[in-house]
Structure 1
């Protein structure tokens, strides 16, 4: 234990300073260096073609020395720093392209005032970079945290009377080395309160205090162990540990930046964590789920909760701030997403600051710039989109019943229409009664035909008919010729299925294929059917509650510059163009709900803009839209706006897709008026008289009815029958068709048993081209270097394990992270748990095990805990039980002067450190003791009380006590987090 004594007298005094230095360097790497690279290096770096003003800003010495006018940066003195003055346009005006945003200038002022921390000790040299890195890596790979945990035997201690438990033996041995003794055990009431807060975040009730004190006085060990087991089995245990992990992954309910849009399904991720920790799901499983839950061959299905837990896990990637804005800047926006995720991922699972290698090789740790971009390819290859989290087949019984009932309704109703006679007479009477409205019909509409015939006489009806037929034939032939020369059919849906590499999701699509004209059952009112749907896909064929999405591949993989789709939709269904996974840069476009027939939607290939490598379009119901709702006011359909308070929960939404074509020039296929083919296409001459004309028209409609009744109805048949239904010329209510009315009631009852889909933003890489990221020279997104193959970090043999699978490599990454052979994962997690239990980690910097992080106070204990944790099945509850049962945890907070002199920071744990409750626990404690606490678990986030509301950003105020719910259920808005929690120690949500 010689190392420990050296540590005592030289190491722990630096721990706080080391953590502070790490934060300062991280601030420089994330907020200062990228700005210098983007706006200053072109003229003021060692590689500049001409260094202007003799000012070099690409290393520390250059900024301190400055140029012709003096020092650019004077640490601690922003008023004397010429760089800041130039940014403010007080003297020079830099950069020359225009004044930087105020927040960037504020960052530089903060950086200089705090000492201008800058790890760039030497000017960069491109020629020697690779050789230098290899030499550095050879040394850095031996860093303590990169070595496999050692197989350690707990030390033998002189006094086993204190404790025989392995954890205590490590602690006691270190105390003996320092000639210290552990504190006495805390009393029963203290232990009860400590355990209650540590394991549940809630105080014990007065009744529990009395009960435990009595039990502890009789059998202290058994009473204490029983209390531990009871609290571990409390549903509030999962809330407590989940809240800790949410801090690690930067949990938010919004995406931040200016509009602070909702992060769809973030609360489902929160509830997923609560369930997981309550059920003691092994950490290796949780790692696999959060990194690649959508790819697991055997996902974890939770029948009780009714969800696919595994697919919720990748919501992890959606935590934290995601910028939005002009699509002209989406490369930069998307690179910020990459940086945020790499930073969160590497700190959460590896306790490494990989994001510091975005612009250059890490200055201190075993992470190269190539490592950063190799990992970027892994993380950003899949689509970041919304996924259904309901159990697969959740409503299969209802869906099959709806199929049977719909078929029966369609059959009976079609037979009734088929049996009806006198349609010609009905049409003639209807035309006479609606003469004024028919005058307004357009030449291509059915109404125009009826008006022309109604106005004709026996003498001229043949001529009128012939003129209509001739004009139709001429128009149709020209349009057919034009369409044939300009458009190539991609999908006509004669058979179910989508083109190659198109991806679909949701029961609305799975069960929404119509091979022929199909009845859409009316879900309310007196009508039996709402309309007939043509051949194609219709998410609402059975129920508009069923979700659906069709995801196109990047357009560069499709023949043609444009794709046009014949579509229709309503209730906030629409489509979203997504460049480089920056899903908030383009506003969703919504289908016009007032349209009665499908329209052509064109999607252009804009990949060439700004060097974007991948851009694609998703068509989806509102539940499947990862960017729904968008910022207030952006959701507009046919002039109607989505109310500001509407977050898109529980909305019926649907769309239809009936045809797809590709083309090289703008424009869409012209309507070839196929519905008139049976009427005019036979080549017959004009009718001899008016009655004959009406008979032909009646027969025309009846032929469509017959084809529909025989299960062969086409799009034109659906169009004609829908016209008849709209004009109420076909029987379509329960009174007229009594035997169908009962079937309709049954249909509506079964449909009511289907709940709205539960969705969350997650990942999807099915049939999706992966991407190897180009190394951004100096972190500049517009200055690309070589592409880096997707892999893990080189220090973990990443170069020998290049991801050769067709996928992103996330599954391989997840398997490596959850492997017992990985030196980092278990060690990092047990250290976090130690921090949650004792208030300080064995490594005092739980998110940084690197050179700027703290050294472990008890390295052998950390290794023993990590190996034991893995051998016991990665069980969080077993680990925590072991720790809280230890005598080390049960010490009182009282200490001695000698202990304070030798170990003032209590690094050796000679007493249990007094701890301030976290912000959430303070609020929860107030609710609990006031009697207003609501113990209910799970659910949508609750608006906290706010001084004022801002409907434009969906910031609404809730009741002061937020209905008594725990703080974990309060809405965590990045731009306006709960004020009460901010007053204490709520983490930075960014």
Structure 2
């Protein structure tokens, strides 16, 4: 073990040196703060007030001092409560504005924010910004996210040779303003690895690597993009994010946490991405496929999106309480996933920060409130409880002839929970303090006026809500999806807080680019594949991930995108990389979820003892080697190894996963049966090759790292292999090779196999192996 850890350290040192190597940094400057010609309240002033002033002079009445609010112009311009002759802001005159006087003074008795508040004082540049803003008239603006995206001209840049499409002009303009230069394009091997992982979630095959390296044509990269986007694995990769958004899981949740059969909807999502269903249809079918005139069975299946929430099967619960919780979940998911808004903050009272009233929250909730469902429908039992009413049944004939994308084996019956409203519209009330049984004012269907009014032109149903959502004047829909898509490729969105475009969310780092992408997306038929191709074809995306000391110091978070993305793979794709590179991967698309290796006793320790999921039943054979996205998710006990790598347990809508770096992750890579079995199987295949040790190790390195090893790296691996051959005993080899169910070749030299397995396992444990660079 010590030798392996030491080897990993040596090789990782080389990877770090690569990452930090100095690119050509001639002409780079330290990013400087520059005074804009026109001061924007949204982008220049509000962030300062929010950080330094709103704690005492913002929307929270409980903590407001001196009766002064600076977030509302009417109150900011009014006479001060304790000094009617003075005003916080006097447009055009900083010297008469108490705000400027207090932030600029050196008198600690008058200085704002006061020392006692523990808030940092404004920097000299921030003071100058406020002064310039007041001089220019102290103009307040509607929150940027509530203004419809506008047509933006593609900017001109000094380095006109670098951009490959319009995205690059916006990015380079910001770089040039900050004194940065872009990195050179990544080398072909690393670029193909990045592209393949981003578009399919799988490493490129050796043939794909060889073909790409041999292709010297000017459009070689674009050909690789098109090939990967045409692969069926593209739909699997893109679907994973949407499974997080939709809170897809294979159990109902709560204590009993019994099995549910929603996986045909997952098959549909994969199919929709592969077929490039336009985003407006992709969402409309999911929100309201049951309300489309002459709708199809496929459109009905899509509505399972709304029913992926947790459902209780526990006796003794109050039916209406849980029914309301289901409707609330659908409402909150709609807000976070599609609007990038924290609607849930208005469940009990008016939103504290965003212009959203409690009444408006329940007007949105009304769209989802007439489903023919109950809070508690059944007790834990057999197949009839797999789906909850309303539901649809899928026959073998339908799977064969109508819903051909469903990977259905012949089973007795397959049922999925879907949407279907009652014949009558259920009344909706504002719930006082959010309590399910405390009815206030009755409300009808509607949407927040601050976003876009819901006019009489829209049908009063979920289909009308979809029309409202995809009105080109809606300021959020296109921006939110474009931002989530960008996040999939760069690790974070143009708006970092991808689930919160409201007042407390992050500002876009490149607002003009976000608007340009949103408008372009709408004007080209909400074409998702076209958007993805624009991103991966850009010079911005193709940059090397190497970082110079200067860029690391002045832009550690890569806000200005002066280098390529470098992120660890999502949990499911860590598993997929091992399976694919070792040759174990079962490529079957879709179908029911499976139970691969898992430490014993996890389910049994957290179960009520009832239902199909009371005990963990591991699968065998090819199903052991299915992609990570098909691992069964029991909400109360999610898959342990993937949870350690920050996979969602799908309790609620999640538009962005946390990313952590913990010792437990290293322990998974060192001890997980799938990783060890993958190392053993790949080692056996290498030993069957008619080649020397160097060639075998080079092949292993290429399969896992997707590049040729450097001479020093190969020398370290070779020395480690030779060392293991000398010290490996037959007893140690036999013990090491026991892991996993995949058969060992009958005539294998077990000492050589164990030695090679340890080297392959060491490669899997390098940081670069599970990192997109």
The gaps in structure 2 that reach 5 residues or longer are: 1-33, 55-59, 65-138, 398-408, 652-773
Q: 1:968 maps to what in 2? A: 629
C-alpha contact (below 8 Å) 1:919/1:981 kept by paired residues: yes
C-alpha contact (below 8 Å) 1:374/1:772 kept by paired residues: no
Alignment partner of 1:243 is 2:240: yes
Deviation at 1:959, TM superposition (A): 3.8
C-alpha contact (below 8 Å) 2:148/2:473 kept by paired residues: yes
Match of 1:341 among 300, 316, 330: 330
Deviation at 1:628, TM superposition (A): 11
Q: 1:360 maps to what in 2? A: 349
Deviation at 1:155, TM superposition (A): 0.2
For the structure 1 residues 941 and 2, does the alpha-carbon distance in structure 2 shift closer, same or farther, using more than 3 Å as the test?
farther
Q: 2:258 maps to what in 1? A: 261
Which whole-Å CA distance do the structure 2 matches of 1:796 and 1:383 have between them? 29
For 1:362, what is the secondary structure of its paired residue?
A: coil
Q: 1:958 maps to what in 2? A: 618
> Can you list the C-alpha shifts for 1:347-370, whole angstroms capped at 9, x where unaligned?
110000101101000001121101
For 2:541, what is the secondary structure of its paired residue?
A: coil
C-alpha contact (below 8 Å) 1:831/1:841 kept by paired residues: yes
Which whole-Å CA distance do the structure 2 matches of 1:273 and 1:866 have between them? 22
For the structure 1 residues 589 and 155, does the alpha-carbon distance in structure 2 shift closer, same or farther, using more than 3 Å as the test?
closer
Which whole-Å CA distance do the structure 2 matches of 1:293 and 1:651 have between them? 22
C-alpha contact (below 8 Å) 2:347/2:361 kept by paired residues: yes
C-alpha contact (below 8 Å) 1:792/1:802 kept by paired residues: no
Counterpart mapping for 1:798-877 below 5 A: 798=453, 800-801=455-456, 805=460, 809-877=461-529
TM-score for the superposition, normalised by structure 1: 0.48
Alignment partner of 1:315 is 2:311: no
Counterpart mapping for 1:897-916 below 5 A: 897-916=549-568
Alignment partner of 1:233 is 2:222: no
Q: 2:423 maps to what in 1? A: 768
For the structure 1 residues 153 and 840, does the alpha-carbon distance in structure 2 shift closer, same or farther, using more than 3 Å as the test?
same
Which whole-Å CA distance do the structure 1 matches of 2:144 and 2:35 have between them? 17
Which whole-Å CA distance do the structure 2 matches of 1:754 and 1:895 have between them? 54
> Can you list the C-alpha shifts for 1:591-610, whole angstroms capped at 9, x where unaligned?
xxxxxxxxxxxxxxxxxxxx
> Can you list the C-alpha shifts for 1:632-684, whole angstroms capped at 9, x where unaligned?
xxxxxxxxxxxxxxxx99899xxxxxxxxxxxxxxxxxxxxxxxxxxxxxxxx
Alignment partner of 1:224 is 2:221: yes
For 1:383, what is the secondary structure of its paired residue?
A: coil
C-alpha contact (below 8 Å) 2:150/2:515 kept by paired residues: yes
For the structure 1 residues 962 and 625, does the alpha-carbon distance in structure 2 shift closer, same or farther, using more than 3 Å as the test?
closer
Alignment partner of 1:375 is 2:137: no
For 2:368, what is the secondary structure of its paired residue?
A: helix
Match of 1:978 among 635, 639, 652: 639
For the structure 1 residues 327 and 787, does the alpha-carbon distance in structure 2 shift closer, same or farther, using more than 3 Å as the test?
farther
Which whole-Å CA distance do the structure 2 matches of 1:982 and 1:909 have between them? 30
Greater share of strand residues, 1 or 2?
1
Deviation at 1:589, TM superposition (A): 10
For 1:349, what is the secondary structure of its paired residue?
A: helix
C-alpha contact (below 8 Å) 2:307/2:419 kept by paired residues: no
C-alpha contact (below 8 Å) 2:429/2:441 kept by paired residues: yes
Deviation at 1:140, TM superposition (A): 11
C-alpha contact (below 8 Å) 1:933/1:966 kept by paired residues: yes
Which whole-Å CA distance do the structure 2 matches of 1:872 and 1:589 have between them? 49
Deviation at 1:778, TM superposition (A): 1.3
For the structure 1 residues 840 and 253, does the alpha-carbon distance in structure 2 shift closer, same or farther, using more than 3 Å as the test?
same
C-alpha contact (below 8 Å) 1:288/1:814 kept by paired residues: yes
Deviation at 1:909, TM superposition (A): 0.3
Counterpart mapping for 1:498-647 below 5 A: 581-582=374-375, 584-587=376-379, 622=384, 626=388
Query: In angstroms, what is the RMSD of aligned CA positions?
Result: 3.4
Deviation at 1:930, TM superposition (A): 1.5
For the structure 1 residues 587 and 182, does the alpha-carbon distance in structure 2 shift closer, same or farther, using more than 3 Å as the test?
same
The gaps in structure 1 that reach 5 residues or longer are: 22-57, 63-138, 302-307, 385-580, 591-620, 630-647, 653-752
Q: 1:295 maps to what in 2? A: 291
For 2:239, what is the secondary structure of its paired residue?
A: helix
> Can you list the C-alpha shifts for 1:518-558, whole angstroms capped at 9, x where unaligned?
xxxxxxxxxxxxxxxxxxxxxxxxxxxxxxxxxxxxxxxxx
Q: 2:670 maps to what in 1? A: none
With a CA cutoff of 8 Å and minimum separation of 6, indicate the structure with the bigger relative contact order. Answer: 1
Deviation at 1:924, TM superposition (A): 0.6
Which whole-Å CA distance do the structure 2 matches of 1:971 and 1:833 have between them? 25
C-alpha contact (below 8 Å) 2:197/2:203 kept by paired residues: yes
Q: 1:163 maps to what in 2? A: 163
For the structure 1 residues 267 and 847, does the alpha-carbon distance in structure 2 shift closer, same or farther, using more than 3 Å as the test?
same
786-795 or 951-960, larger mean C-alpha shift: 951-960
Deviation at 1:828, TM superposition (A): 0.5
Deviation at 1:976, TM superposition (A): 1.6
Deviation at 1:625, TM superposition (A): 5.9
Deviation at 1:340, TM superposition (A): 1.8
Which whole-Å CA distance do the structure 2 matches of 1:186 and 1:651 have between them? 48
Q: 1:393 maps to what in 2? A: none
Counterpart mapping for 1:58-73 below 5 A: none
Which whole-Å CA distance do the structure 1 matches of 2:304 and 2:449 have between them? 27
C-alpha contact (below 8 Å) 1:622/1:628 kept by paired residues: no
For 1:795, what is the secondary structure of its paired residue?
A: coil
Q: 1:148 maps to what in 2? A: 148
Q: 2:679 maps to what in 1? A: none
Q: 1:883 maps to what in 2? A: 535
C-alpha contact (below 8 Å) 2:164/2:538 kept by paired residues: no
Q: 1:424 maps to what in 2? A: none
Which whole-Å CA distance do the structure 1 matches of 2:253 and 2:386 have between them? 21
Alignment partner of 1:174 is 2:171: no
Alignment partner of 1:778 is 2:439: no
Aligned pair count reads 512
Q: 2:282 maps to what in 1? A: 286
Q: 2:110 maps to what in 1? A: none
Deviation at 1:334, TM superposition (A): 2.1
Alignment partner of 1:211 is 2:211: yes
C-alpha contact (below 8 Å) 1:256/1:975 kept by paired residues: yes
For 1:352, what is the secondary structure of its paired residue?
A: coil
Q: 1:923 maps to what in 2? A: 575
Deviation at 1:801, TM superposition (A): 4.2
Deviation at 1:332, TM superposition (A): 2.1
C-alpha contact (below 8 Å) 1:201/1:924 kept by paired residues: yes
For the structure 1 residues 625 and 248, does the alpha-carbon distance in structure 2 shift closer, same or farther, using more than 3 Å as the test?
closer
For the structure 1 residues 989 and 140, does the alpha-carbon distance in structure 2 shift closer, same or farther, using more than 3 Å as the test?
farther
TM-score for the superposition, normalised by structure 2: 0.61
C-alpha contact (below 8 Å) 1:588/1:627 kept by paired residues: no
Deviation at 1:978, TM superposition (A): 1.3
